[in-house]
Each structure stands twice: as structure tokens, then as C-alpha cells.
Amino acid sequence: MNTNFFVKSHGLGNDYIVMDSHKTDFEFTVKNIQLICDVHYGIGSDGILVLVDSDKADFGLRILNPDGSEAEKSGNGLRIFAKFLFDYGYTTQASFSIDTLGGVVQAEVIQQEKEKARMIKVDMGAAIFESAKVPVKSDLPECLDDTLDLDGISYQINCVSVGNPHCVVIKDELSVDEIMQYGSQIENNPKFPNRINVQFAKVISPDLVEILIWERGAGWTLASGSSSSAVAAIMVKKGLTNRKLTLKMPGGELKLQIDEDWQIHMTGEVREICSGILSAELLDELMN
């Protein structure tokens, strides 16, 4: 594999660039992350996944948001990263562990196409509902049906951590315009010390939930694995769905299972978009 090689893939329209930190000539600074993710001046993506060393798992992963911040965990990102490791020969095993800031995750390639990974299952770890551990500033031990007051509107919110923090608002009807208007306000509200990912969710049936997503550090997003995991956990916690359910997003669908001990299992497709080598001219900007 050449130096400064990259792969761009997507999980249900949620796209990431993947690179190996051992084979790059530049540092992943905030400025460089923003430039690479910019659709006009860089490659363009919802973030960067960087392979790093780990003493806790088979592989280490840094998840970098397009604003330059670092995420603890990403369900789509993990599946994209797992595909990269399998497709490019970092492992010949169908099952392997990945170390993230949000904990160690087990990934499994469960379907291949032309010797490339297509369908990947990720064990996302356990959902955590304790307010202090999400974290969210709430008078409730678990932030379920708490009130969040914004400019001109109030929401009943439900918060959970799946390795990163999430705020779920259950709605009778979903509106892209509404989450575009209030997503950033919720994400950056002082009630959330580490900011927060936001989902508006509508229960369609005991086996199907439709969601819209505002992702911390990225904004409006077509799909998100960790957001799907968070919504599924909240729905089961509140007794609104079965433990096995489908999460429908603008980018597509994911299968979720929530165990009795709140362990989360997620299955979905990943597809590669392109691969290449960063140009000398872009590298000049990244290294100066």
C-alpha cells in the first residue's frame, strides 16, 4: 500500500475516508481534518477513520469529525473501518476487535461479495442510561422524559450513551426542516457537557422505527450506526418496541438487537466508493 493512500466508503450514505496512520506524511490536526473533509477543497466526507496501534484490541481506531473534533464511537464508521481492514489484507479473520475511545468493539464480516466485505455486524457494547455517565445535566437519575427548553420550543428528551452521547426526541411526525432548525441548538445546549448527537424518532411498528439524525460535529446526516443504536436502546427501555428492530433512515436501514443486559448488536451493509493517493498539491497544504 502506497504512502498517503486512502479509501472512501459509505454505510447507507454516511461516508468516511479511511487512512493508515503509519503510512501518512502529515499530522491529523484540526486544520488538516477540516481540509480533507471539505467537499470543495479536499476529498469531502462525513469524517476520517484512522488506523492506529492498540494494546487492547486487534486494531486501534481514531474517529475524526469534519469539524476536527474526535468521536468516541461510530457504528457506520466501525463497519466501514472493518471492511477496510478485511478488504485490504490487514486481517484474514472474519471476526476481530477494534479499540475506540468509546471502548473495544467486536466486528464480524457476515457476508462477502467477490472476496470483499459487504454485510458487517458490530457489537456496539452496552447502552448506559445514567445521566452522569451520558453525560447530561439532569435532576433525574436516568434522563428519560426530561424537558429541554429552547428558543420558542420545548422537547421531551431521552438520553443514552452507547460509547458516545445521544439525545432522542420521540415525535408523532418527522420533519427534516425541524431537525435542521433545532439540531445544532440541542447539540450545543449547556445541558450536555460534551455536546450531544440528536435523533428525532417515530415509532412505525414494534419492529420498525424511523429516525432523522443531527450528528455532533457533522450536522445533518443521512445515516448513523451509533444513533440507530441509541434510538433502539431508548425504544426498548421505554417499552415501545421489540428487542429486535429495524431503524429506517434517509440513507437506508440497519438491523438492531438489544439484549437483556443492554448489549447492542448492529448489522448493515458497507460499500466502497473510491480509493486513491492524496495529490502532491494537497499534501503541500497539509504539511504547511
Condensed to tens digits (0 to 9), the pLDDT of residues 178-202 reads: 999 999 999 999 999 999 999 999 9
pLDDT (tens digit per residue) in 223-271: 999 999 999 999 999 999 999 999 999 999 999 999 999 999 999 999 9
5-123+270-286 CATH fold:
Diaminopimelate Epimerase; Chain A, domain 1 (3.10.310)
Do 131-261 and 5-123+270-286 fall under one CATH topology? yes
pTM here is: 0.92
**146 neighbors 138 (Cβ within 8 angstroms):** yes
Which class is domain 131-261? alpha beta
Which of 132, 258, 278, 104 has the alpha carbon at shortest distance from 194? 132
Q: How would residue 1 be classed by pLDDT, with cut points 50, 70 and 90? A: confident
Q: Would the pLDDT of 152 be above 90?
A: no
Mean pLDDT of 51-63: 98
Question: What is the domain partition of the chain in residue ranges?
Answer: 5-123+270-286, 131-261
Count of alpha carbons within 13 Å of 152, Cβ hemisphere only?
Answer: 4
Q: Distance between CA atoms of 105 and 24, rounded to whole angstroms?
A: 25
Q: How would residue 67 be classed by pLDDT, with cut points 50, 70 and 90? A: very high
